[in-house]
Amino acid sequence: MIRLRLYRAIDDPESCQKFIIGHRHVLENIGVTKVTSSKDAWMYNPGVYVLIVEDTEDGRVLGGARVHVASKEFPLPVEEATSFIDAKVVDVIGEHIPAGTGEICGLWNSREVAGMGIGAVFLTRAAVAVSTQIGLKSLFALCAPYTVKMAENVGYEIETSVGNQGTFYYPKLDLVATFMILRDVDVLSKAVPEEKEPIMDLRANPVTERTEIYRKREVKLFYQLTL
């Protein structure tokens, strides 16, 4: 069975190392060798929470994502990646820190589960779902072109006040990333019903086994979303 498990990074260094190795391998396969969110320092950050996708039979890590809590001491990966291009990014994020803000980043899945919706849908839903549990009122993300629509579906908007109407060349000059914000993590007012309903259900039932359907394919997932 495939398990989607939440843990605090500093509480499980072994799983963090597996996450790092898997994520790095995926990035290298697309020719990316320098990405801010793939640096290893996050595993020592007390404000990082990890969603890891595991095969419960053999322990293989099949994917994952992270939720970083923003603070003055620990800037978000999106801030480190883009603030040297547009310093306004620091101010935009800083406005939201007092109420509790963070970032979903480092989302990846292995080829073994490609086409099953693990990275494209289910990890994103889970990350948004657990963000209220860790005290966040808003979320930022730096999205590749193929993930912008999914982010909008769960309630994100493009933050056009930074970069080039919200876009940056990152992590390479031939790749475009879009700076996005989800302003109301608790109510998800701009999320489409097809995404809002399962996210709210995961909040109400953080430990549950569900048969998900993605592109007419059934995927059985065990969610373990409590700390």
Residues 167, 33: Cα–Cα separation, whole Å: 21
**What pLDDT band is residue 29 in, cutting at 50, 70 and 90?**
low
Q: pLDDT category, 206, cuts 50, 70, 90?
A: very high
pLDDT band at residue 31 using 50, 70 and 90 as cut-offs? low
Separation CA 192–CA 4 (nearest Å)? 23
pTM of the complete model beyond 0.85: yes
Count how many domains the chain has.
Answer: 1
Q: What is the pLDDT of residues 19-28, one digit of tens each?
A: 999 888 777 6
CATH of the domain at 217: 3.40.630.30
pLDDT of residue 36 exceeding 60: no
Q: Which pLDDT value is given to residue 66?
A: 97
At 74-85, the pLDDT tens digits run 999 999 889 999
Q: Please tell me which residue, 28 or 42, carries the higher pLDDT value.
A: 42
**1-9 mean pLDDT:** 96
**Domain extent for 95:** 2-224
